[in-house]
Amino acid sequence: MTPPLVTNLAARGRRRRYVMGTAGLVLTLLLAGALFGFGVARGARLALFVPLLIAAVGFMQARGGT
């Protein structure tokens, strides 16, 4: 038997985190397009990690309700 789902976010908080996740994903895609388009060195593409992390955290928090 699974325990009941306990969330500490209201609908507004979940929506805010979905927006944060979407913004991070859009920023990642734009940055990736620019970096690949200009042929930036492979090591510099590690900058994609930060906005991708923001997107992942936003989506996970919104889905989990925490």
64 vs 6, 36, 38, 53, CA distance in Å? 9, 33, 37, 16
Answer yes or no: is 49 within a domain: yes
pLDDT < 70 stretches in the chain = 1, 5
| pLDDT at residue 65, as a whole number | 76
Answer yes or no: is 53 within a domain: yes
* Strand (E) or helix (H) holding 51: helix 49-64
| pLDDT at residue 21, as a whole number | 96
Answer yes or no: is 51 within a domain: yes
**Domain coverage including residue 55:** 25-64
| pLDDT at residue 2, as a whole number | 72
| pLDDT at residue 1, as a whole number | 66
Rg over CA atoms, the chain: 16
Answer yes or no: is 41 within a domain: yes
| pLDDT at residue 58, as a whole number | 94
